[in-house]
Chains A and B, each alone.
Chain A
Amino acid sequence: MIAKEAVEQAAYEIMFKAGIDIPDDYLAGIKKMASAEDGDLSAFVLEAMLENYEAAKEDRRPMCADTGVPRYYVKAGNEAKLEGGFIALEEALRSATARATHDIPLRPNRVHPLWRTDHNNNVGINAPEIEYSFEPDADWVDITTVHKGGLFGTDYRMLFPGDGIDGIKRFFLDGMIAFGKRGLACQPAIVGVGLGGSKDTCMVLGKQAACLRTVGDRNPDPKIAELELELQELGNSIGMGAMGFVGKSMVVDCHIEVGYTHTGGMPMSLHAFCLSSRRATVRLHADGRAEFRTDPNWFTPYMRRETVSWEMPASAKRSA
């Protein structure tokens, strides 16, 4: 049984880790980009960023003051037992958010869209968001949080099957160029692409691709993996680097996630994570252990399962 108190404490701790400590895979990615960058302003920005990660770690203060809008990804093992069930889990995540907002402190970014009321704790209607997935044969619960900042660096377009890979590349370029200028998308960043699904799942998949995969991780479909690398290269060939200055540090990595979609369309979403890519994961084991990791391990084979085993009726087979 996983205690409610353990959930709250672990969620509180990952809020600190995500806000303050740069994940190793992302740090290595930025260092690689900094060493290859020949645009002098862009290289200056990357060096300042590397210094900033050190300052955050030393002082235990957030890497960036836009600590985003808190959100949790919960992956529950099918055999996991939670004290108080999912209602208690959600209560724990909401109070961990408020406590962490005050104690770190995070910026209280969450306001009502119309009345702009602000509880100064990042908790409100539908906030923080909690997304769920499941894992077979497991008795643990994984909780991941991301502090993805700001307003720029996300877009959606309904493409059509005839647009094909060209359409994907075109929209990718459109987005990167528009958002990259003046560094408004805070590049270089991990760029997530959602392909397919309905409009809402397309957005969800693209954001998960940006926030929940690690640098260097490839989609298991070799053709999609190839497209990921192609888009990364395309992004880095625009001539724009960190903060939109002349350079080539635009995309640290590109991740694509797909979902089956409507036969007439090919929706695509584009999500740039921040230059301070901020994520942290904790796995809560049944025996009470809290295991902290930087890899959310979100896209398991179960998440990407292809179809269902089903015996087609004999009549349908004949007409096929």
Chain B
Amino acid sequence: MGNARERKTVRLKTPVTDADLATLELGDVVYLDGLIYTAREGVYKKVLENGEAPPAPFAEIGNVNFHCSPAAAQQEDGSLKVSAVTATASFRFSKWMKDWFAASGAKLIVGKGGMSEEDYRTLFVPAGAVYLTTVGYGTGALLGRGIKNVRAAHWLDELGIAQAMWVLEVEKFGPLLVESDLAGNSLFERNNREINAGIEKLYEGLKKPSLQRYGETDDREQELI
């Protein structure tokens, strides 16, 4: 079954080093071992906009920021159970990334959908950071399997399960795909360029709609993000 070519597979130990990142090429498959943490709107706002101190020093929790909210529940004994995890769409965090890289020293962003090539060039390249995308995006069970332990869930009461800062101990956490490299190239945009080349043809012979609405576009190459 399938015609998936053998892809280069890399296992990275966190915190990741600059040398690790330099080996990553677009489309490589990555698995992570070590500590990763989640940070999204709630955490970014607290740290970057309200100036609150991060709940744990980044030297302790590493440099891998996962854009995620887990399917999790607090158990009766107070422990936290994470069953499945998948990422949340990353493009909406662009506006915080410059400051976040400066504040946290993050080198790997793991999420859904990636950001634009322009974001990689202007935000990621200066920070020496790389973006990994989750696969599917529904590989929640495989990613859940890679979580060996919940080290902490900071700001759980204030931010709730979805927005809290989860610190997760992971082993063979993946599969993830390298979406951007250190030069700021994007795997998605490379694919989009190829797909866009054939789009006009699909509309050939279909008559124009009776009503074109405000905000609609004839440029089918435009991306949602």
Contact = CB atoms under 8 A, between A and B. Distances in A.
Contacts of A173: 202-203, 220
| Interface-centre pick from A59, A62, A182 (highest chain B CB count, 10 A) | A182
Given A65-B71, A104-B71, A170-B209, A178 B135 contact: no
29 contacts: A37-B2, A40-B4, A41-B27, A43-B2, A47-B4, A49-B135, A55-B144, A56-B84, A62-B140, A63-B141, A64-B137, A65-B84, A101-B73, A107-B69, A107-B161, A107-B162, A108-B161, A118-B162, A149-B138, A151-B89, A163-B207, A174-B220, A181-B223, A238-B195, A238-B198, A244-B191, A244-B195, A245-B188, A246-B195
A43 B6 CA distance: 11
Interface string A84-123: 0000000000000000011111111100000000101000
A49 B138 contact: yes
Contacts of B211: 158, 160
B192 A181 contact: yes
A6 interface: no
B113 A102 contact: no
Interface in B133-157: 133, 135-145
Contact of A170 (B69, B81, B113, B206): B206
A55 B2 contact: no
Interface string B1-33: 111110100000000000000000001010000
B175 interface: yes
A129 interface: no
A239 B194 contact: yes
A311 interface: no
Interface of B: 1-5, 7, 27, 29, 68-73, 81, 83-86, 89, 112-114, 133, 135-145, 160-162, 175, 177, 187-188, 191-192, 194-195, 198-199, 202-203, 206-207, 209-211, 220, 222-225
A46 B175 CA distance: 12
B144 A186 contact: no
A59 B3 CA distance: 27
A8 B51 CA distance: 46
A162 B209 CA distance: 8
Contacts of B83: 61-62, 65, 104-105
B81 A105 contact: yes
A83 interface: no
Given A104-B83, A108-B162, A243-B135, A177 B142 contact: no
Contacts of B113: 182-184
B137 A186 contact: yes
A145 interface: no
A34 B162 contact: no
Given A64-B84, A67-B71, 15 more contacts: A40-B7, A43-B3, A61-B84, A61-B141, A62-B84, A63-B140, A65-B70, A120-B161, A167-B209, A171-B209, A173-B220, A182-B225, A239-B195, A244-B188, A244-B191
A137 interface: no
Contact of A246 (B5, B114, B191): B191
A13 B68 CA distance: 27
B1 A34 contact: yes
A9 interface: no
B136 A178 contact: no
A308 B223 CA distance: 47
| Interface-centre pick from B85, B133, B195 (highest chain A CB count, 10 A) | B195
3 shortest interchain CB distances as A-B pairs = A105-B73, A64-B138, A56-B141
Nearest to B179: A182
Given A35-B2, A104-B71, A173-B202, A182 B188 contact: yes
A64 B140 contact: yes
A264 to B, nearest CB: 11
A238 B199 contact: yes
A195 B70 CA distance: 36
A111 to B, nearest CB: 8
A141 B224 CA distance: 42
Contacts of B136: 45, 48-49, 52, 64, 183, 186, 242-243, 275
B2 A178 contact: no
Contacts of A35: 1-2
A239 to B, nearest CB: 5
Nearest to B174: A48
B84 A63 contact: yes
Contacts of B72: 105, 107
A103 B161 CA distance: 15
Interface string A275-294: 11000000000000000000
B202 A47 contact: no
B212 to A, nearest CB: 11
Contacts of A109: 162
B224 A181 contact: yes
Contact of A45 (B135, B143, B220): B135
B162 to A, nearest CB: 7
B24 to A, nearest CB: 16
A28 B222 CA distance: 33
